[in-house]
Amino acid sequence: MIINEDSTNQGHISEEQLFSQISAAAFASDQKGQFPHFEFDLLRASGLLTTTLPGQNLSLDLPNTPGLLQLLKRVGRASLPVGRIYEGHINALLLISLYANAHQAQRWYEDAHTHLFGVWNTQDLDGLEIQDLGCKRYRLSGSKTFCSGASWIGRPLVTGKLISSDKSGWQMCIIPTEKLEPILADSSFWNPLGMQASVSFRMNFTGIEIDEEDLLGSPDDYYRQPHFGAGALRFAAVQLGGAEAILEETHRFLNDAKRTEDPFQQFRVAEISCLTETGNLWINQAAKHYDQWLHMPGETEKLLAYANMVRTKIEDICLRSMQLAERSVGSRGLMRPGVLERMHRDLTTYLRQPATDAVQASVGKYVLNQINTNGLWI
């Protein structure tokens, strides 16, 4: 557990200290093929890798979404690659809470104390297949791309096409990596503009064999709504952390440069402040709606439309904040090892999420399908 700032307990650090240490480590971690070990050691020691388990502060079986999204934002503010990997860990634990049987849940929750989880769904043409061999054994073939955390994830949750005589669909499984042959990691896939430290490699599962007990849920559970679509709230929260870091760094740069009295600079800082606060209003409101609408029959489409609005607006907020900040600090403020140079690369990369156009269009479609626009989001 994180101990409050006023704690004098040896060996524990406050949240402020935790996030400032993660932030300070971000430059050193911004290297090709480098996993942010130090940062995850801190997160583990702080209890944040298990904070969503039953009975913990942000238990996923209680309406804790406001706290969870703020936590994700704070991790993202400290480091976007760490935020990306951390969000995958939380997402896997959520999918377990939704779809695992009691025995599996107990096993994987225990694993969360020692292993990192991740969710690897993206793939190219050589995507994953899960072949039923009979006798409750399954053989994997094919690859996943953008596998954040790569070989450092001890419990990757991967999805693939189930090939079996009695069931078919998009199947989740969780790989007990240390019990199997190593999964081949292709680091040459990961040559991004930013987010180096998310180590989002291509992973080849061909030849890996797993048990029935490693399959999570039924085929197609992964895409069940509103859980799949509303998951966008979590990455949007991490992204908003990036915009807040940009505001913080612009504030620091202008103060150091003694350029705070200039009205144009004040104007731009005002605008970035409005943008980040707007982002917080969106995130907080969405979190409340999520907890309220999740279990209400008939509200799935509304929740998805709301989450898609949030995702679209946060992308916009981040892009505009970046542009304003860059105009404020100029080229001198965009040099390595400056935070803004890295933030520009990391946020630009992390803002690229799938199907952005379709997501925005789906909001318009939802609204147009209503009888009128009175009380759209109540």
Residues that bind ligand FAD (CB under 6 A): 84, 88, 118-122, 146-148, 195, 198, 200, 349-350, 352-358
For residue 162, the cross-strand partners are 130, 169
Our CB check for ligand FAD shows the closer of 197 and 208 to be 197
Nearer to ligand FAD, 335 or 358 (CB): 358
CB of 112 to ligand FAD, least distance (A): 17
Burial of 344 (0-12, 13-18, 19+ CB in 10 A): buried
State the nearest-atom distance from the C-beta of 144 to ligand FAD, in Å.
7
Within 10 A of 139 (CB to CB), how many other CB atoms are there? 16
Nearest to ligand FAD of 69, 80 (CB atom): 80
Closer of 118 and 217 to ligand FAD (Cβ): 118
What DSSP designation does 183 have?
P
As measured in angstroms, the least distance from the Cβ of 206 to ligand FAD is 18
CA separation for the pair 251, 269 (Å, rounded): 8
- Closest by CA position to 350, among listed 277, 222, 241: 241
Q: Which is nearer to ligand FAD, 51 or 349 (CB)?
A: 349
Find the shortest distance in angstroms from Cβ 148 to ligand FAD.
3
Q: How many CA atoms lie within 13 A of 171 on its CB side?
A: 25
Minimal distance, residue 263 CB to ligand FAD, in Å: 37
| CA–CA dist 148, 146 (Å, integer) | 6
Q: CA 358 to CA 213: how far, in whole Å? A: 36
Residues 6+ apart with CB under 8 A from 32: 187, 190, 196
In a 3-state reduction of DSSP, which class is residue 5?
coil
Beta carbon nearer to ligand FAD, 326 or 346: 346
Nearer to ligand FAD, 85 or 339 (CB): 85
Backbone angles phi, psi at 261, to 5 degrees: -90, -5
Q: Which is nearer to ligand FAD, 247 or 359 (CB)?
A: 359
Nearest distance from C-beta of residue 332 to ligand FAD, angstroms: 28
Min dist. Cβ of residue 153 to ligand FAD (A): 9
Task: Round to whole Å and give the CA distance between 377 and 374.
Answer: 9
Q: CA angle at residue 202 from 197 to 203, to 5 degrees?
A: 110
**Percent of the chain that is helix, strand, coil (3-state, to 5):** 55, 15, 35
SS3 108: helix
